[in-house]
Amino acid sequence: MELKKFVDTLPIPSIIRPKGMYKGRPFYDVCMIETLHKFHRDLPKTKVWGYNGLVPGPSFNVEKNQPIYVRWANNLPEKHFLPVDKTIHGASHNPEVRTVVHLHGSPSEPASDGHPEAWFTRGFRQTGPHFMKEIYHYTNEERATALWYHDHALGVTRLNVYAGLAGLYFIRDEQERSLSLPKGKYEVPLIIQDKTFNPDGSLFYPAQPDNPSPNLPYPSIVPSFLGDTITVNGKVWPFLKVEPRKYRFRLLNASNTRTYQFQLSNLRPFALIGTDGGLLSRPIKVKSLDVSPAERIDIVIDFSGLEGQNVILQDGFESENPTGEIMEFQVTKFLSCPDQSRLPSLLSHIDRIPLDKVKKIRRLTLNDSQDEFGRLMLLFDDKEWMDPATETPLLNSVEIWELVNLTPGIHPIHIHLVNFRVLDRYNQNGNLVAPFPADFGLKDTVLVGPGETVRIIMKFHPFSGDYVWHCHRLEHEDHDMMRPLKIIPSNRNK
């Protein structure tokens, strides 16, 4: 079924409100439920899983340094509606439907981080070995930024996120508010995912790789997933009517596998003002941006002088294909008031970590491998998830990680607990290559290209305990490109 583009208006995710107070702090209650969602005018309603029944989930809007509590409850069925491979890590002897929520980009304490083995089933009847509590505590001590929350259950993350379990989490502060950036209705979240739909409107996800060998289990995990349809905020190829003025877009790539090269169809430049960890020091003028799964970008697009025109947000990697178009901006609204917003030359201050503070440099390889069925399995340092932890930094220590990609594919690498800075990039010949524009900001996820080495620097704080790091191509994360990260209390060595 060929779906017509740009016939549905872009929905804006609702803002969730606290239900009350808990331990003197705002308390939020969020329940994961199975429901029906209308992705497109011409599609029947589609079965999905949503936080509070919404796809994407409701957005959090919280203040810096004002902690909150969230109870994440699972009210999902006992059977998954997508194909579950029970041969991969975490899925073989555990309940089919398990969930746990990770606030991606947050320096959360271990009990609130959403560890993959802290999963729980409906009504908390069964829980994983790392499960500690039902109510999560978020300190919100990081800079103003856009985080996102999503499912992180071991062995089924790719399915649960694809089913709908994802949403945005904004942290605000006075420094950001003091800037004359577009705000209110001129600040628009864009959560981008690719999907494939069956003829009856249901979500399609492959039960086996293309051309499977006879010995593969059924269902069997696929090495990647690229949908043939693009959704933004839960709508297929939507449109947004805009005024001829500046808009701020908070963009999240929430796709399982797809990396986008975001650009405008008229190739008009726009401004990158922020990355995963908040505002840049200064705006960067760009014509396109490569954004891999889990990365967020904060951009300002100026529609001035484009009255009556339609401008398409597109994927430069796929610009000649149907999936190359993402959404349409229709510059058809009258200017409701003079545009007083502006791009300041200085946005924020980002502290740099002095190189003389580095206590350890780790060289970590990204490897191709095979499992017992001959399937592609991606690993770090040729180690699987269940191998003992080898990344064990001391609390408050500074390390440089050299991420060496020995595979022919791209990998967005996410490290829990920390924000990091990208130091430099080298190609497979050891030559220094130009940084990505987003490399100038604080990051929690970094794209590492084929044959590339990317060096990052970070300080491991403010908590010790059990965390993880992994590739955020979700099929890779589930099989088996994820490793434990154990932050050791520094007093152990005193």
Residue 1 has pLDDT above 80, yes or no: no
Domains 184-330 and 355-493 share a fold: yes
Task: For domain 20-173, give the CATH superfamily.
Answer: Cupredoxins -  blue copper proteins (2.60.40.420)
Residue 492 has pLDDT above 60, yes or no: no
* pLDDT, tens digit, 9 for 90 and up, residues 164-219: 999 999 999 999 999 999 999 999 999 999 999 999 999 999 999 998 888 899 99
Chain centre to alpha carbon of residue 494: 38
Banded model confidence at residue 490, pLDDT cuts 50, 70, 90: confident
Residue 493 has pLDDT above 50, yes or no: no
Report pLDDT for 294.
98
312 touches 326 (CB < 8 A): yes
Banded model confidence at residue 494, pLDDT cuts 50, 70, 90: very low
Assign a CATH topology to domain 184-330. Immunoglobulin-like (2.60.40)
Domain ranges of the chain: 20-173, 184-330, 355-493
User: Whole-angstrom Cα distance, residue 115 to residue 152?
Assistant: 7
Helix (H) or strand (E) holding 101, with range, is strand 101-104
User: Whole-angstrom Cα distance, residue 313 to residue 322?
Assistant: 13
Mean pLDDT over 68-81 rounds to 98
User: Whole-angstrom Cα distance, residue 424 to residue 274?
Assistant: 19
CATH: 2.60.40.420, 3.40.50.300, 2.60.40.1120, 3.40.50.720. Which one for 355-493?
A: 2.60.40.420
298 touches 146 (CB < 8 A): yes
Banded model confidence at residue 393, pLDDT cuts 50, 70, 90: very high
How would you classify the pairing of strands 60-63 and 166-172?
parallel
430: buried, middle or exposed (CB in 10 Å: 19+, 13-18, 0-12)?
exposed
Residue 473 has pLDDT above 70, yes or no: yes
Report pLDDT for 2.
87
Torsion (CA) 151, 152, 153, 156 in degrees, nearest 10: 80
Average pLDDT, the chain: 97
User: Whole-angstrom Cα distance, residue 344 to residue 352?
Assistant: 21
* pLDDT, tens digit, 9 for 90 and up, residues 231-290: 999 999 999 999 999 999 999 999 999 999 999 999 999 999 999 999 999 999 999 999
* pLDDT, tens digit, 9 for 90 and up, residues 27-62: 999 999 999 999 999 999 999 999 999 999 999 999
How would you classify the pairing of strands 270-275 and 278-286?
antiparallel
> Cβ neighbours of residue 371 under 8 Å, at least 6 residues apart?
377, 479, 480
Mean pLDDT over 461-486 rounds to 98
Banded model confidence at residue 10, pLDDT cuts 50, 70, 90: very high
Residue with tokens 């998954």: 80
Residue 417 has pLDDT above 50, yes or no: yes
- Of all residues in the chain, the percent with pLDDT exceeding 70 is 99
* pLDDT, tens digit, 9 for 90 and up, residues 136-147: 999 999 999 999
* pLDDT, tens digit, 9 for 90 and up, residues 327-385: 999 999 999 999 999 999 999 999 999 999 999 999 999 999 999 999 999 999 999 99
268: buried, middle or exposed (CB in 10 Å: 19+, 13-18, 0-12)?
middle
> Cβ neighbours of residue 404 under 8 Å, at least 6 residues apart?
363, 364, 365, 366, 453
Q: What is the CA radius of gyration of the chain?
A: 22
Residue 302 has pLDDT above 70, yes or no: yes
